[in-house]
């Protein structure tokens, strides 16, 4: 059976990545593509790397027909998804890649995003989109909220450790090194090649990055008490990839054991042998997440290092994995592309 999917916001990097992945998915076909400023253009003009594909032209959302569409991937900018999704036909499943439905608490949403949520009833319904942790809920969901790419990175390292109570909850530090595509195709001086290449800097430091809202929500829920982590993202001169270095107190062997057990049956999360550490270059362009653990010369301290591709496992691959679960396709369909190295 072939499912028909529309991609809203197809002129951004996550939209293009969805199309790239769906291109070799045997059970999903692209039924429509929307873009706002680039409506009227062919996808191959906006993204020449997709020019060999037979795709519908970009149109405005209002010109898109949802007749016969089984699933919508909504890759619109934050705060614009809410209204659009509220208007979609009831029988269309939705995977939202924006931040609009990640936080279940309307107050938390308003605090982190600076305005009240316009579709609070949908907010309640949305399932948080980390397949490995919410698989059962995603199966029956109509609306799945794709996670922040940084938020996904930290959670793959920490959720099993908090759940199994093998680490302290009051001194968790998440230091991320992220590629630039996470910032999207937006015209900002700081994203120019001449500004970014051959350099590195921290941004949104000091507990101000919005993905902290997701960490707070998920870690506190699992721990059964409030958990607040320290989190500093850094921009490095690479296009894809997030490397997370996570400092925890706890026994390193127990940490490694908890991760190994948690992901034993998971195809896309790979725990390396104790002492080996991952690299972003080894997951590039793929849906795989690599995790490594080392102990420290300081007793009772462990370091977890996690690597994933922000556009794939951190965003569009994650979205497709959820779509597979929602539609009843085998979960890894279309997602087994090996990483591209070098």
| Distance between CA atoms of residues 243 and 294, nearest Å | 15
| Distance between CA atoms of residues 239 and 256, nearest Å | 29
Site string for a copy of itself, 134-173 (x = CB under 8 A): -------------------------------------x-x
Report residue 38 as tokens.
């680039």
For residue 124, the minimal CB distance to a copy of itself (Å) is 26
Per-residue b/e over 22-39, b at no fewer than 16 CB within 10 Å?
bbebeebebbbbbbeebb
Quick check: is 289 catalytic?
A: no
Site for a copy of itself, residues 24 to 53, rule: CB under 8 A? 24, 47-53
The verdict on whether omega for the bond into residue 342 sits within 30 degrees of 0, i.e. cis, is: yes
For residue 236, the minimal CB distance to a copy of itself (Å) is 5
Nearer to a copy of itself, 120 or 277 (CB): 277
Q: Which of 39, 108, 254, 270 binds a copy of itself (CB under 8 A)?
A: 270
264 binds a copy of itself (CB under 8 A): no
How many amino acids of this chain bind a copy of itself (CB under 8 A)?
A: 88
| Distance between CA atoms of residues 271 and 264, nearest Å | 8
Q: Which of 93, 102, 117, 177 binds a copy of itself (CB under 8 A)?
A: 177
Rg for the chain, CA atoms, rounded = 19
As a whole number of Å, the end-to-end CA separation of the chain is: 36
Most distant CA pair in the chain: distance in Å? 62
Q: Interacting stretch for a copy of itself, rule CB under 8 A, among 1-9, 120-128, 144-152, 180-188?
A: 180-188
Nearer to a copy of itself, 87 or 341 (CB): 341
For residue 88, the minimal CB distance to a copy of itself (Å) is 27
| Distance between CA atoms of residues 66 and 15, nearest Å | 18
Nearer to a copy of itself, 265 or 342 (CB): 342
Site string for a copy of itself, 195-224 (x = CB under 8 A): xxxxxxxxx-xxxx---x------------
339 binds a copy of itself (CB under 8 A): yes
| Distance between CA atoms of residues 29 and 12, nearest Å | 19
Among the listed residues 342, 293, 257, 337, the one whose alpha carbon sits nearest the alpha carbon of residue 21: 337
- Of 74, 149, 289, 329, the active-site residue reads 149
| Distance between CA atoms of residues 234 and 332, nearest Å | 31
Q: What is the number of other CB atoms lying within 10 angstroms of the CB of residue 186?
A: 9
Site for a copy of itself, residues 59 to 88, rule: CB under 8 A? none
Q: Interacting stretch for a copy of itself, rule CB under 8 A, among 1-9, 14-22, 122-130, 142-150?
A: 14-22
Q: Quick check: 154 and 305 in contact, CB under 8 A?
A: no
Q: Interacting stretch for a copy of itself, rule CB under 8 A, among 29-37, 88-96, 267-275, 320-328?
A: 267-275
Nearer to a copy of itself, 15 or 101 (CB): 15
Site string for a copy of itself, 283-322 (x = CB under 8 A): xxxx-x-x---xxxxx--x-x-x-x---x-----------
Cα-to-chain-centroid distance, residue 282: 18
332 binds a copy of itself (CB under 8 A): no
| Distance between CA atoms of residues 65 and 341, nearest Å | 39
Residues with a known catalytic role: 149
């Amino acid at each position: 059976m072939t499912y028909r999917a529309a991609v809203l916001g197809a002129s951004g990097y996550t939209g293009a990545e969805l199309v790239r992945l769906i291109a070799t998915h045997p059970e999903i076909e692209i039924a429509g593509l929307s873009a706002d400023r680039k409506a009227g253009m062919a996808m191959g003009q906006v993204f020449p790397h997709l020019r060999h594909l037979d795709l519908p032209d970009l149109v405005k959302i209002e010109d898109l027909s949802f007749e016969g569409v089984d699933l919508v991937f909504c890759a619109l900018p934050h705060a614009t998804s809410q209204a659009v999704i509220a208007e979609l036909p009831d029988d269309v499943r939705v995977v939202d890649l924006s931040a609009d439905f990640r936080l279940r608490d309307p107050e938390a949403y308003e605090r982190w995003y600076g305005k009240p949520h316009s579709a609070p009833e949908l907010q309640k319904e949305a399932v948080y989109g980390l397949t490995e942790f919410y698989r059962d809920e995603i199966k029956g969901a109509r609306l799945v909220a794709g996670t922040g790419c940084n938020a996904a990175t930290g959670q793959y390292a920490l959720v099993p450790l908090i759940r199994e109570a093998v680490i302290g909850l009051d001194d968790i530090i998440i230091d991320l090194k992220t590629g630039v595509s996470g910032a999207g195709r937006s015209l900002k001086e700081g994203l120019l090649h001449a500004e970014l290449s051959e350099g590195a800097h921290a941004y949104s430091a000091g507990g101000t990055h919005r993905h902290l809202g997701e960490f707070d929500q998920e870690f506190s829920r699992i721990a059964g008490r409030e958990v607040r982590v320290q989190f500093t993202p850094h921009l490095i001169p690479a296009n894809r990839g997030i490397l997370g270095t996570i400092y925890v107190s706890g026994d390193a062997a127990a940490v490694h054991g908890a991760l190994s057990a948690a992901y034993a049956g998971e195809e896309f999360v790979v725990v390396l042998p104790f002492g080996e550490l991952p690299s972003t270059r080894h997951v590039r362009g793929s849906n795989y997440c690599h995790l490594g653990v080392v102990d420290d010369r300081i007793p009772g301290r462990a370091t977890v290092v996690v690597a994933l591709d922000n556009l794939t496992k951190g965003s569009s691959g994650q979205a497709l994995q959820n779509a597979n679960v929602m539609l009843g396709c085998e979960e890894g369909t279309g997602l087994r592309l090996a990483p591209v190295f070098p």
